[in-house]
Chain A
Amino acid sequence: MTPAALLLFATLAFPVGYTVYISFAEINLGTFTPDEWVGWDNYLTALEDDRFWDSLSVTGIYLVFALPLQMFLGFAIAFLINASWKGRGIVRAAFIIPMVVAPVIAGGIWRMLLDPLWGIANYVIGTVGLGPIDWLGDPYWAMTTVILIDTWRWTPFVTLIASAALLTLPRDVFEAAEIDGANWWTMLWRITLPLLVPMIAATFVVRWLGAVKMFDIALAATHGGPGRATTVVNLFIYEEAFRSLKFAESAAMSLIILVVTMVLTGIFLRGTKMLEERH
């Protein structure tokens, strides 16, 4: 662990320190050093900004729907594609492709497919008598679209890790259970899931930390709109930092997000520990 800790400390100590430092200052864009100490002003500005609060609740909605969906689909698909047959290798390799496509391209291709004017999606659902749906222009559908694209992109990650996890399960336990005449449902609940708890937890935490930071898909697919319907908090921070060059304010907002993320991650870790100890 020492090499990892040292490497991280060396590369992150200054950037994180700098972020904390400028979050209490008014930054001079001529030198990128503080001009003037403003105390908690940047934090107050962020907390008074309705855009910040709106983006927090948008992030919350996205996380609540996207994460469980991706975890469930990921493990379910891993279970399916782990059946041993000749084509298994190819299916597994093909399954990682959605992850590899750059977010801006992924967002754009989905836009193309979903656009009410030239997209193929509304044709398809039209044949079964549904739609037309304004996937990107209606606030609820736009959020659905972002969750859909994100799930398409990141379920393969859960599948990738989950299928490796399923493979590392000790075989003898299952053989013993089978001899005892347990059916697969019992085996799933009594043996597979408990054994998988550390991996489910690890995958969830990694996906959670990734999803909190998501902004590229929202930027590419909906530009955060309509209105503010899909402006997740990191998209807002990104716009403040890279469009408006408000680096000090965005540092303050980033640190607020960091604290919230830390608290929630702490709760997840504690939950994981309890689950691990129970089994």
Chain B
Amino acid sequence: MTDSIRKPRSVGRRAVLASLAAMPAAVINRAEAQQGGGFGTAEKPIQLRMIANSAFSVPWQNVMVPEFNKKFPHIKVQIDGLPYNEQLAKIMLDITGDKPTYDLYAIDDPWVPQVAETKQLLELKKDAKTWTAADYDWDDFNPAPLAASEWKGGQYGVPLRCNMLLRFYNKTHYQKAGLPEPDINQTWREFIAQAPKLVQDVKGTGGVNAWAIATYFTRDSLTPTIWQAILNAHGAELIDAQGKPGFNNPTGVKALQTHIDLLQWAPPGAKAHGFTESLQAFRQGQVANMFQWGSVYKGTAVDPGATTLKPNEVGIMVMPVGSNSPGIMRSGTHRGIWNGCVSRKSPNQQAAWAMLQWLSSKEGEYFHSSVVGAFPARKSTLSRPPAEAWQAPVFKTLQHSYEIAAAGRMWRPRSAKSDQAQTILADETARAFNGDVKVAEALASAASKIERLRL
């Protein structure tokens, strides 16, 4: 996104109105700001450094930090963006040093246990309690995103940027196929029954030019999250509470097989498609459905420079419901939260935590979602009238997906070896997709390798 690196030329009108509404608070803030919010002085400002992901480090630096500095003018924050693939290694290398370069880290959902195990992250609910503002409302967070930074009973971070795996659908394609718009109760069986009809001619050129589904099929660590969502929808867990694989069973086989079967109704070349390719196919109006991270919504439905679709064409909801299985049946989704964490070795832990508190506060979160477009974790932010019209349906779906994720534990393995397990799953999934091994064999092999990890 080009806009992700631009400074906002103009803050949305609604956001301005909203900040006007928050005037009384701003007045108090100004008074506080004269004392620098209690941190640093004009002559001796506190310097904080943060590792973030390059997908959002620039808007954080250019938009969020100046806003934060209105309240805390004497805390200087420098945010360095890192590519995703090497970010965990880089965080681990930094945090284990005697004098780490960084005070703050943005840590992805599955990495929290691994980093927390170093014992170098500040525990925020108990250890940092005295530094926490009285009005900082922990209970307002949805449990699912907050749990992303929880490990062994400690709260090692706060959700800063949320993302959930959701279902996008193209309403025009459903109309053309003569199908009713899908609803939230659609089961996997119904989805698959409709799929052949969605492979169709939507452009009137005579041949097939639209397909039913685009999502992750390639060899990628996020590809297993798709069949995991199917598995979870059927009431099973990927890894159970004891750390044992819960997918090496008929439900698991059915889930992975369903994922593989989707290829039949996917565009040509889909076997090599992942995040970017499936997204582009959907934005070009070539597929009726896409299982994808919610964060792409604005670029998919709203931003005319990035998409060919219009907002009223794009539907969003959680993934289909499990069908025909004993036990629980629910919709599917998958969690992906960026968490803000404080280094225990930072000389300015209190200021660092103040910065995170502001970012994740009701005020900061609303500003973040209004101006940068980030997804919030707080119930209050999600239920508030959003600054932008497109956010209304998305926030409704987000709130729904948080509840489902919490109920069905729809996240990657919670363990210090989470990425190891995910790499194994990705490898075996890829082999099953390629027909190198049968689905059941791939899952059995993944299960035995994961068991050996002793999660």
A-to-B contact residues, CB < 8 Å: 29-32, 51, 111, 115-119, 132, 134-137, 139, 142, 222-229, 231, 239-246
Are the CB atoms of A222 and B272 closer together than 8 Å? yes
- Nearest 10 CB-CB pairs, A to B? A225-B219, A227-B434, A137-B271, A116-B269, A136-B272, A116-B268, A244-B420, A226-B434, A223-B219, A227-B436
- Give the residues in chain A near B441, CB-CB below 8 Å: none
Are the CB atoms of B219 and A224 closer together than 8 Å? yes
Quick one: which of A32, A137, A139, A244 contacts B269, CB cutoff 8 A? A137
Chain B residue with the shortest CB-CB distance to A49: B449
In angstroms, how far is the closest chain B Cβ from the Cβ of A36?
15
Are the CB atoms of B85 and A134 closer together than 8 Å? no
Quick one: which of B92, B269, B280, B430 contacts A245, CB cutoff 8 A? B92
Q: How many A-B residue pairs have CB under 8 A?
A: 107
Interface size of B in residues (CB-CB distance below 8 Å): 40
Bound: A123/B281 CA distance, A: 18
- Give the residues in chain B near A242, CB-CB below 8 Å: 85-86, 88-89
- Give the residues in chain B near A229, CB-CB below 8 Å: 434
Are the CB atoms of B93 and A32 closer together than 8 Å? yes
In angstroms, how far is the closest chain B Cβ from the Cβ of A3?
31
Are the CB atoms of A117 and B118 closer together than 8 Å? no
Are the CB atoms of A117 and B96 closer together than 8 Å? no
- Give the residues in chain A near B228, CB-CB below 8 Å: none
Bound: A231/B88 CA distance, A: 22
In angstroms, how far is the closest chain B Cβ from the Cβ of A216?
11
B427 at the interface (CB under 8 A from A): yes
B-to-A contact residues, CB < 8 Å: 85-86, 88-89, 92-93, 96, 114, 117-120, 218-221, 267-272, 274, 277, 280-281, 284, 286, 417, 419-420, 422-423, 427, 430-431, 433-436
Are the CB atoms of B272 and A226 closer together than 8 Å? yes
Bound: A242/B434 CA distance, A: 25
In angstroms, how far is the closest chain B Cβ from the Cβ of A104?
9
Chain B residue with the shortest CB-CB distance to A223: B219
- If A29-B96, A222-B272, A225-B218 touch, whether A117 touches B286 (CB-CB below 8 Å) is yes
Chain A residue with the shortest CB-CB distance to B271: A137
Are the CB atoms of A225 and B96 closer together than 8 Å? no
Bound: A229/B269 CA distance, A: 16
28 A-B pairs with CB atoms under 8 Å apart are A30-B118, A31-B96, A32-B93, A115-B272, A115-B277, A116-B267, A116-B269, A118-B280, A119-B269, A135-B269, A136-B269, A137-B269, A139-B434, A142-B272, A223-B274, A225-B272, A225-B433, A226-B218, A226-B271, A226-B272, A227-B430, A228-B427, A229-B434, A231-B219, A242-B85, A242-B88, A242-B89, A243-B420
In angstroms, how far is the closest chain B Cβ from the Cβ of A8?
24
- Give the residues in chain B near A231, CB-CB below 8 Å: 219
In angstroms, how far is the closest chain A Cβ from the Cβ of B277?
7
- If A29-B96, A222-B219, A226-B434 touch, whether A239 touches B423 (CB-CB below 8 Å) is yes
- Give the residues in chain A near B220, CB-CB below 8 Å: 223
- Give the residues in chain B near A243, CB-CB below 8 Å: 85, 88, 221, 419-420, 422-423
Are the CB atoms of A117 and B433 closer together than 8 Å? no
